[in-house]
Structure 1
Amino acid sequence: MSVYLPIAELAIDLRVLIALGLVVGFLSGMFGIGGGFITTPILIFLGVPPAIAVGTGASQVVASSVSGAIANWQRGNVDLRMGLLLIAGGVIGATTGVAIQRLLKAAGQLDFFIAMSYVILLGTVGGLMLVESVRALRRAPGPMKTTSRRGGQHIWVQRLPLKMRFQTAKLYMSAIPPVIIGAMVGWLTAIMGVGGGFMLVPALIYLLRVPTRVVIGTSQFQVVFVTAFATLLQATTNFSVDLLLAAPLMIAGVFGAQYGVRAAQRLKAEQLRALLALLVLLVAIRLAFSLVIVPDELYELDDRP
C-alpha cells in the first residue's frame, strides 16, 4: 500500500516507512541515540530529496527525545542553566544552518553538501568509535587504571571569562563553551537533520567534565528544543517537512525503541559501541559510493518551488 508524500512529491510503500521507523526506533533504544543520522541517509536512499529528508528526519528526533527528556527531568538529571545556554547557542546555530541550506539550494549544491557532510562526519566518528571499541574488547581484564588528573583540577576551558555556577553539574566555569558547543550542534541539526547527541555527549563529558548522568539528561533537554526550533524553521523557510512522511516514522519508532532497550541489556557496552560504529561506517560508505557512481540520469530538472 503506497502513500503519496505531497512535499517530497513521490509515493512510498507505507510498509517500508513503518519498517524503517521500527528499525530506527530499535537502534535508537539499543544505542541511546536520536536516530536522525540513520533516518536521513536511508530516506535519501529511498529517493526522498535530501532537503526533505533533513527536515523530516529532524522532526522524528523531536518525538524520540521528548520521553527521555521528561524522565531525566523527573530524576533531577537536567542542569537547567547549562541546558538554557546550550539551547541559546543551538538557536543561533540552527538559524545559521537553515540560512546556509537555503543558499546552497538556490545554488544547486545542497544535495552534494548534505551527502558529503554525512560522509565526513560519520566516517570520522564511526572510525574513532570502532578503534576505541575494538581496543576495549581486546583489552585483557585487569585492575582499572587511574588517570593523573585529579577531580576538581582546572582545565583550559575553566580559565575562560564569564564564569557561572552550574548547581546540578556541580561545576563553576565559563558560560562561553556551552554556547559554542550548542551552536555547533544546532548547525548540524539544521544542515543534516540530526539531533547532535552523538557529538554533544562526548563534548560535555570530555571537554567540560560534566557528570555522565547530567550529560544524558541535559543533552536530551537541549535536543528537544533545538531540534523543534530547527524543524519549525525548515517547515516555514524551506518548506521541507513532510508530515505524512514523519507520522509513520514517529509512531513505529516508539514501538521499536521498546525492543531496542531490551536487546541492549543483553550486550556489553563495548559490543554496543562496536556495533554502532560499524553501522555508522556502513552508512558513510554507502553515501560515499553514491557520490562517485555514474547516475542513470546525468541531468535532472528540479521544478519544485
Structure 2
Amino acid sequence: MSAVILALAAGAVIGLALGALGGGGSVLAVPALIYLLGSSPVVATTASLVIVTITSVTALVAHAREGHVRWRTGLLFAAAGIVPATLGGALAAHVPAAVLTAAFAVVAGAAAVRMMRSRRAGEGAVAVRPGRAAAAGAGLGAVTGVLGVGGGFLAVPALVGVLGMRMRNAVATSLMVITVNSLAALATRADTVEGLDWAVVGPFVGAAILGAWDGKKLSAKISGHTLQRIFALVLLAVAAFMLADAAV
C-alpha cells in the first residue's frame, strides 16, 4: 500500500478523533507516522504537531460556533503551558528515541486510567480555580514540548477530572489548548519542519481536516460519558502497543 494512501487513511481516523473527542489526534498520529509511514520518532513528533495544529484549528471553529468553548479557562490553561512547551521542545532533541517512545506510552496510559476513573461527564461540575488550571496547563505544556503531542489526550482528562468541566465543553476547550501548545512547541522545531515529507504530510492533513468535521457531527450524537470511555480505551491500546515496542 502506498504511503499516500496510508497517510489519507490515518489522517481520516486522527481527524475523527480530534473532532469528536477534542484530543487523541497526536497520540494516534505519532504511532501512525512511525509504524505505518516509517518516520523516525523525532520527525514523527514534528509532523504530528503540524498535522494536529492545523486540524485542531478547523475543529475549534466548528465547536466555537455552537458555544461549547470555555475561553477564559482555556486561555489560562494554554497560557500557563507556553513556556514549558517551548523548553520541552528544546529538550526533546537530546532525548533518545526509545526513551521518548516509552515516555509517550506511560503518559498516554496514565491519562487513560485517569479518564476511566473520573466522574461521569457532566456530573458534579465545580467552579474553576485559576491556580489549579495554571498548574495543570503548565504540566501539559511540558509534556507537549517533550513528546511532540498536541496534548488533547491529556487536556481532556485534566479539564474533566481536575477542573470539573463537562465532557462536551472539555472537548471543545481542549482544541484551543492544543493549538496554542502545538504552536509553542513547533517554534522550537523550525529546523526539523523543513525536512518533512510534504507529499505525505499534505494528504495526511487534508484527510484529518475532513475527518474532524465528521467527528464534530459524531460528538453531537454520542453522550459525553460514552465518548470519555471510548477515548480512554483507545489510549490504553495505543499505550500498551508502544510500551511493548519500546521494551523490545
TM-score (norm 2): 0.80
Partner of 1:6: none
Alignment of 1:97-116 (within 5 A): 97-104=88-95, 109=96, 111-116=97-102
How many residues get paired? 244
Distance 1:100 1:132, change over 3 A: same
Alpha-carbon separation, structure 1, partners of 2:27 and 2:99: 15
Partner of residue 247 from structure 1, selected from 202, 220, 236 = 202
**What amino acid is the match of 2:47?**
T
Partner of 2:26: 36
Partner of 2:108: 122
Alignment of 1:142-181 (within 5 A): 173=129, 175-181=130-136
Partner of 1:14: 4
**Alignment RMSD, CA only?**
3.2
In terms of mean alpha carbon deviation, does 200-209 or 264-273 score higher? 264-273
Partner of residue 184 from structure 2, selected from 222, 229, 233 = 229
More helix by share: 2
CA offset digits 1:31-64 (Å, max 9, x no partner):
3425110010121113210011111111111112
Partner of 2:142: 187
Partner of 2:46: 55
Alpha-carbon separation, structure 1, partners of 2:118 and 2:74: 29
Distance 1:260 1:16, change over 3 A: same
Amino-acid identity (%): 27
| 1:27 shift after superposition | 3.2
Alpha-carbon separation, structure 2, partners of 1:199 and 1:69: 17
Contact map agreement 1:55 1:193 (CA 8 A) in 2: yes
**What amino acid is the match of 2:100?**
I
Alignment of 1:80-91 (within 5 A): 80-91=71-82
Contact map agreement 2:92 2:146 (CA 8 A) in 1: yes
Q: Does the residue aligned with 2:94 lie in a helix, a strand or coil?
A: helix
Contact map agreement 1:185 1:195 (CA 8 A) in 2: no
Give the gaps of 5 or more residues in structure 2.
none
Contact map agreement 1:60 1:250 (CA 8 A) in 2: yes
Alpha-carbon separation, structure 1, partners of 2:114 and 2:131: 27
Distance 1:85 1:28, change over 3 A: closer
**What amino acid is the match of 2:19?**
G
Partner of 2:57: 66
Give the gaps of 5 or more residues in structure 1.
3-12, 137-145, 153-169, 294-305
Distance 1:79 1:21, change over 3 A: closer
CA offset digits 1:256-282 (Å, max 9, x no partner):
234444555665555444433332222
Q: Does the residue aligned with 2:203 lie in a helix, a strand or coil?
A: helix
More strand by share: 1
Contact map agreement 2:114 2:157 (CA 8 A) in 1: no
CA offset digits 1:4-44 (Å, max 9, x no partner):
xxxxxxxxx21111111122223333434251100101211
Alpha-carbon separation, structure 2, partners of 1:23 and 1:257: 9
Contact map agreement 1:80 1:218 (CA 8 A) in 2: yes
Q: Does the residue aligned with 1:48 lie in a helix, a strand or coil?
A: coil
**What amino acid is the match of 1:53?**
A
Alpha-carbon separation, structure 2, partners of 1:30 and 1:84: 21
CA offset digits 1:206-230 (Å, max 9, x no partner):
4334565654443322221221221
Q: Does the residue aligned with 1:65 lie in a helix, a strand or coil?
A: helix
CA offset digits 1:241-263 (Å, max 9, x no partner):
62514211110112223444455
